[in-house]
Amino acid sequence: MSRWRIWRSTSVAASLIAGAGLLASCNAYQFMDSPSGDAQYLAAAHSCLDQGDYACATQYFLKISSSAGDTQYSERAMARLSQSGIGVGTFASAILQSGSNLGRLITLFADSLSYQASNALRLELFQNYKLTLNIQNTQAQAALRMITALALLAELFAEDASIAGYYTSRDLVDNPSGCITAGALGSFSSEDCAITGKKLSIGLSLGSNATTLSNAVNSDFSSGNATLYMVQATISELNTASNLLGGGSKFVSSALAFVSILLDFDLTQTNADRAYRYLLLNAGLGKHS
């Protein structure tokens, strides 16, 4: 991949708003009075998703075709997300503030998670991701996989927040403005894109040799500092979940645009750590406005 797609557009849209719980009524489908039939349920679900209401989206995905246990697993997954710090209300606030930038959305998630960011929270979110794999409805599963993966990704960065409740670009690189300038010129040996005194590093490949979350095991996320191999596995999952959801949602398009920047990145290349950090920085990570 030439220059790790440095000059590829990183424009990401995430025009979302949050709503009610799984069994509550949804207002996101105001374009239709009463959705009925698979086509309208699907349209209503994607409308909810575009507004950031993952509970409402799941409700309508489950109306299409579900096994007996899907509602139970979905409710458990959403409850655990809320307990971890990414409830629907938190999601709503982050979406409204992030505008059209998924990097900022992840930053705001990191703000919320930084108060309790730890190996324990990292493992809890990973286990919640594994729980979502029990949902048989493909799109309901994919929606919750995506939200949980976003939360896990944010947690990995939140572990480096210098100030609880406020993750910044200086938690990602030593000199953000200098890194942007150097990275745009392809100068990844620049010290500006390095980071000192933080936990997140390239590290080693996951102990299980997994490259995706679906193949990873608890021990891959339960101990040690966060690594870019963990980040990369989570990026891969975002790509998988987005493709499973398919078209019809701006949120999905935003996620696909974001992950395409990093999806094929080779962490073994020279100056990989600095180049990776530049790409994240350029995609809006660490920015609040």
Mean of the per-residue pLDDT values for the chain? Answer: 84
Residue 2 DSSP label:
G
In the three-class reduction of DSSP (H, G, I as helix; E, B as strand; rest coil), residue 137 is classed as coil
Range of the domain at 98: 94-282
Tell me whether residue 210 is in a domain. yes
Q: Print the SS3 string covering 5-42.
A: HCCCCCCCCCCCCCCCCCCCCCCCCCCCCCCCCHHHHH
Q: Is residue 41 part of a domain?
A: no
Per-residue tokens: 26: 């949804």
What is the pLDDT at residue 33?
54
Q: Of the ranges 165-169, 187-191, 199-203, 247-251, which one carries the lowest mean pLDDT score? A: 247-251
Q: List residues bridging with 201 in a β-sheet.
A: 227
Residue 192 located in a structural domain: yes
User: Which of 113, 115, 151, 116 has its CA nearest to residue 131?
Assistant: 151
Helices (H), the chain: 38-50, 54-64, 70-84, 88-98, 102-113, 119-132, 138-158, 176-184, 219-222, 228-245, 250-260, 272-282
More confident residue, 38 or 277: 277
Q: Specify if 268 maps to a domain.
A: yes
Mapped onto helix, strand or coil, the DSSP state of residue 166 is strand
Tell me how crowded residue 248 is: count the other CB atoms within 10 A of its CB. 16
- Residue 111 domain flag: yes
Which of the four pLDDT bands, split at 50, 70 and 90, describes residue 43? confident
- Assigned domain for 13 exists: no
**Count of domains for the chain:** 1
* Residue at 19 is within a domain: no
* Whole-number pLDDT of residue 251: 73
pLDDT for the residue 67: 78
User: What pLDDT digit, counting tens, does each position of 230-267 carry?
Assistant: 999 999 999 999 999 887 777 788 888 899 999 999 99
Contacts of 2 (CB under 8 A, 6+ apart): none
Give CA–CA dist 20/40, Å, rounded. 19
- Predicted local distance difference test score (pLDDT) of residue 7: 31
Name the residue with tokens 């180049």. 275
Greatest Cα-to-Cα distance within the chain, rounded to the nearest angstrom:
57
- Tell me, yes or no, whether 257 lies in a domain: yes
